[in-house]
């Protein structure tokens, strides 16, 4: 029996949370993942469902190089996020940070779940559905039906193609992959200069692997702009107002 077979625990899942961005579009003077959201750093809010979800066995947190110790102290330790097994510095691009996170996980886990650190409203139910689907499908992503018509537009602003809206999905994270598939995809992307991919699933698709879409969540927003942060604070206020919270 080979080393990988000996060390990989069948059915186990590690969550890689890339959160190494600088948040330039937010214009807040602080990386968006560390901004306050309901009294906690946004990143801590993102991580809580992963801590609670029984289908997640470990978490790799990927953060800016100069924020590693801050994250260990003020996020992982302060909020008792015991499933975080490593906090590692990210790379120049999100793509680099994800690859570094996957590599940091080693070969202990069978599946890798990737989720943006600035999507703070993923819930345990969605995590369970995605990880469950990954037991049947080789690659699984969350996606929502498009509410508006989607058109492909050329460089001069002319419409090149209109897509049938019923067949279009707006893709979110989490995304779940077999560890060997997503690691191979990211390493090939690095070797061959694949830089135009907008998400991790696109890299796996280039290996010829079928990606399955399950329904995501309208609340699973990505906090990128001040408007997004305002909406996130509205959502967290709603949660705090619910009975029993």
Instruction: Encode pLDDT of 61-97 as tens digits.
Output: 999 999 999 999 999 999 999 999 999 999 999 999 9
> What is residue 1's predicted lDDT score, i.e. its pLDDT?
38
pLDDT above 90: residue 149? yes
- Do 160 and 154 contact (CB within 8 A), yes or no? yes
* Nearest by Cα to 25 from 227, 197, 233, 230: 227
* pLDDT band per the 50, 70, 90 thresholds, residue 239: confident
Distance CA 177, CA 13 (A): 9
The tokens of 184 are what? Answer: 């191979």
Task: Write down the H helix ranges in the chain.
Answer: 3-7, 42-52, 68-71, 94-104, 124-133, 179-192, 200-205, 226-241
For residue 161, what is the domain's CATH number? Answer: 3.90.550.10
* Overall residue count recorded for the chain in this entry: 245
Q: Which residue has the higher pLDDT, 227 or 198?
A: 227
Q: How many domains does the chain have?
A: 1
Q: Quote the longest CA-to-CA distance of the chain.
A: 58
Q: Edge to edge, what strands does the sheet with 169-178 contain? A: 84-89, 58-63, 9-18, 109-114, 169-178, 139-145, 212-215
> In Å, what is the CA distance from 80 to each residue of 7, 35, 66, 122?
27, 19, 22, 19
pLDDT above 90: residue 153? yes
**In which domain, by residue range, is 119 found?**
3-241
């Amino acid at each position: 029996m080979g080393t990988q077979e000996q060390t990989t625990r069948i059915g186990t899942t590690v969550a890689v949370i890339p959160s190494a961005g600088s948040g330039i579009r937010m214009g807040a003077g602080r990386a968006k993942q560390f901004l306050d959201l309901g009294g906690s750093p946004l990143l801590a809010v993102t991580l809580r469902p992963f801590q609670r979800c029984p289908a997640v066995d470990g978490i790799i947190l990927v953060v800016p190089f100069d924020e590693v110790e801050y994250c260990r102290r003020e996020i992982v330790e302060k909020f008792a996020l015991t499933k975080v097994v490593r906090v590692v510095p990210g790379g120049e691009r999100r793509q680099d940070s994800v690859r570094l996170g996957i590599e940091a996980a080693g070969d202990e886990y069978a599946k890798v779940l990737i989720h943006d650190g600035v999507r703070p409203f993923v819930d345990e139910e969605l995590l369970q559905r995605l990880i469950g689907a990954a037991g049947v499908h080789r690659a699984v992503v969350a996606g929502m039906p498009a509410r508006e018509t989607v058109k492909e537009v050329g460089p001069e602003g002319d419409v090149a193609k209109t897509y049938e809206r019923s067949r279009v999905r707006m893709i979110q994270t989490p995304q779940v992959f077999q560890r060997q598939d997503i690691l191979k995809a990211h390493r090939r992307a690095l070797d061959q200069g694949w830089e135009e991919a907008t998400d991790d699933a696109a890299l796996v698709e280039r290996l010829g692997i079928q990606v399955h879409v399950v329904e995501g969540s309208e609340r699973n927003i990505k906090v990128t702009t001040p408007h997004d942060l305002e909406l996130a604070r509205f959502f967290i206020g709603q949660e705090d107002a619910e009975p029993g919270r």
